[in-house]
């Protein structure tokens, strides 16, 4: 079972721009193994659009998903900077400090910051 969860990428975000993101907790039914993943894309007009895409994908792999909140990500790949900020009206604000720790695993050579600013 561990390998299936390992197969799920920690981070899937657009390579450039400012866009909405959500923090999602994956869990095996009945508890046990769990982890948090970050998903964000410009294609999503609303935060729930991201969740509606992630949820069925994860259910196929046997996970229950829970959205822990959302916000925005500003991704500047040229300067290797990511800024996490804002919140989701529907899901509330994600714990951006958790999001930053997850992003650091993927973007090891980036400067990654967060704030509670709306813009």
The DSSP string of the chain is -HHHHHHS-SEEE-SSEEEEEEEEEEE-TTSS-EEEEEEEETT-SSHHHHHHHHHHHHHHTT-EEEEEEEEEEEEETTTTEEEEE--BTTTBB--HHHHHHHHHHH-TTSEEEE-----
| 11-115: CATH number | 3.50.20.20
Mean pLDDT, all residues of the chain: 94
More confident call, 70 vs 7: 70
Q: Does residue 30 register a pLDDT over 70?
A: yes
- When mean pLDDT is compared across 14-23, 31-40, 44-53, the lowest value belongs to 31-40
105 in a labelled binding site: no
In the predicted structure, residue 98 carries a pLDDT above the cut 50? yes
Task: Categorize the per-residue pLDDT at 118 as very low, low, confident or very high, splitting at 50, 70 and 90.
Answer: confident
* Global pTM exceeds 0.95: no
75 is catalytic: no
Extents of the domains making up the chain: 11-115
Please state the rounded mean pLDDT for residues 25-43.
92
- Of 47, 49, 75, 96, the active-site residue reads 47
pLDDT (0 to 100) of residue 3: 62
Distances in Å between the Cα of 48 and the Cα atoms of 38, 73, 104 are 14, 16, 24
64 forms bridges with which residues in the sheet? 27
- Cα separation, 79 vs 57, in Å, equals 32
What was the pLDDT predicted at 1? 47
């Amino acid at each position: 079972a561990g390998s299936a969860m390992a197969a799920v990428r920690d981070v899937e975000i657009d390579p450039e721009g400012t866009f909405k993101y959500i923090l999602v907790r994956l869990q095996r039914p009945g508890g046990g193994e769990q982890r948090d993943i970050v998903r964000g894309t410009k294609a999503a007009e609303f935060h729930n659009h991201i969740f509606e895409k992630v949820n069925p994908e994860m259910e196929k792999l046997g996970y229950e998903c829970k959205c822990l909140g959302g916000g925005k990500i500003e991704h500047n790949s040229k300067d290797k900077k990511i800024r996490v900020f804002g919140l989701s009206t529907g899901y509330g604000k994600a714990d951006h400090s958790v999001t930053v720790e997850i992003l650091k695993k993927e973007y090891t050579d980036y400067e990654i910051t967060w704030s509670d600013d709306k813009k």
